[in-house]
Amino acid sequence: MNIQMNFWKKLTAEERLDRIQLALKDNVDFSKDANLGYPASRLDERVFANESLFLREMPVLNTYIANPNHIGCHTYGTSEYSFKGTQAIEREVLNMIAVDLFKIEEGEFDGYISPGGTEANLQALWIYRNEFMKKHGARLDEIVILASEDAHYSIPKGANVLMLDLVSVPVHPDTREISLEAINIVVRNAIKSGKKYFIVISNLGSTMFGSVDDPELFSTILKSLGVPYRIHVDGAYGGFVYPFGDHESRINFQNHDINSITIDAHKMLQAPYGTGIFICRKGLIEFVVTKEAKYVEGLDLTLCGSRSGANAVAVWIILTTYGPHKWFEKISVLKMRTNWLCKQLDELAIPYFREPEMNIVAIRSSAIPKSVAQKFNLVPQSHDDSNKWYKIVLMDHVEIEHLKDFMGVLKSTKVNDSAGIIP
């Protein structure tokens, strides 16, 4: 991977603290200033003591106590002036991710730190639904969501909320790949049923398998059939993993067919839960502007409305603590552990799926006794008798020692099975 970055830099602890303290000084201070019109305040001091010197040395916790509201989208137009300090931090974060990591030109994107990947995915669906309706006069029943069968559950949730139909492209049961032929059949059937506008969801690390779709397969078919489409990449899990492989990722904004990307910071980045990221090309987010939010400076362009600025600060702190080179090193270590696990599974001839550049291993449930899965907290594809897979996610807390223990139990189970012994 080419790790030359313009915005994403590693900073010292002192530099990080100074930057956040400066940002908070640029925000309204509810404890000192006269702010009569806000339906908000500092966190209640009877519950959240905020005079601790310890807190002042902890940028994220200090921001949490200060309680900045990042309502709106701070890459588009104006925003609430009273929180301009931490809004600038959010824009810095978005530049690190959109420009440096996902290769869009500076100033050519909009986005925000969302309360999670589910909202970020719904934000994309909402934008494209409205674009097709406002720009092309599309009816609801003419718009369809197109995704692989491994798409995250937020996609059918979004289809339900937005009253859109969803069609799924089947994947190969072993490789989890989608094919041109499968997409062609599904799209043609959708067109026959009256669908004219397509919102594509392309996985960048599916939740269960870590599988990665090739967005060019979708665009190839849709272009050949001459139908309008938008492509959204769901990188909620893989966004901070896949680009750091021993390859040059093509799943970024250099592919002009990719219109938006979701990334979660509360997965690989280990930010607090409720921290997603939504990024789209300029000229799109205005299709969801809520003009009725007239009391909000800059109006609102997000599903959630009010959201904590502390989440943006948390992402900024994490990224600047590591810098791109140390992050690459961290992901490389996790991939080495994943490689080690796959080698052990190969030696036992245990069937599994693993996307080469990802750190998720999905193992056939037939090879894992339920007692072993429960002992090591493996996550099933389905919590019922239809389950076919268990997954292991090589997160930061999963050490080789844990994997050795798991493989030791698995080996003994396999030996007992071969000998006809019930463990």
Question: Cα–Cα–Cα angle for 360, 319, 204, nearest 5°?
Answer: 35
Q: Are 306 and 80 in contact, with CB atoms under 8 Å apart?
A: no
How many other C-beta atoms are found inside a 10 Å radius of the C-beta of residue 16?
Answer: 17
Please write the tens of the pLDDT for every residue from 138-151.
999 999 999 999 99
The 3-state DSSP class for residue 209 equals coil
pLDDT-based confidence at residue 2 (cuts at 50, 70, 90): low
Q: Are 70 and 85 in contact, with CB atoms under 8 Å apart?
A: no
First to last CA, the chain: 46
Confidence check: pLDDT of 50 > 80? no
Confidence check: pLDDT of 51 > 90? no
Residues contacting 256, CB < 8 A, separation 6+ = none
Please write the tens of the pLDDT for every residue from 173-213.
999 999 999 999 999 999 999 999 999 999 999 999 999 99
Distances (CA, A) of 98 to 6, 114, 244, 331: 11, 15, 15, 19
pLDDT, average across residues 300-316: 96
The 3-state DSSP class for residue 403 equals helix
Q: Which residue bears the tokens 């093509």?
A: 250
pLDDT of res. 113: 98
What is the edge-to-edge ordering of all strands in the sheet holding 276-281? Answer: 109-114, 276-281, 258-264, 229-235, 197-203, 143-148, 165-169
Token duo for residue 377 = 């907290």
Domains identified in the chain and CATH numbers: 66-322 (3.40.640.10), 323-419 (3.90.1150.10)
Please write the tens of the pLDDT for every residue from 80-119.
889 999 999 999 999 999 999 999 999 999 999 999 999 9
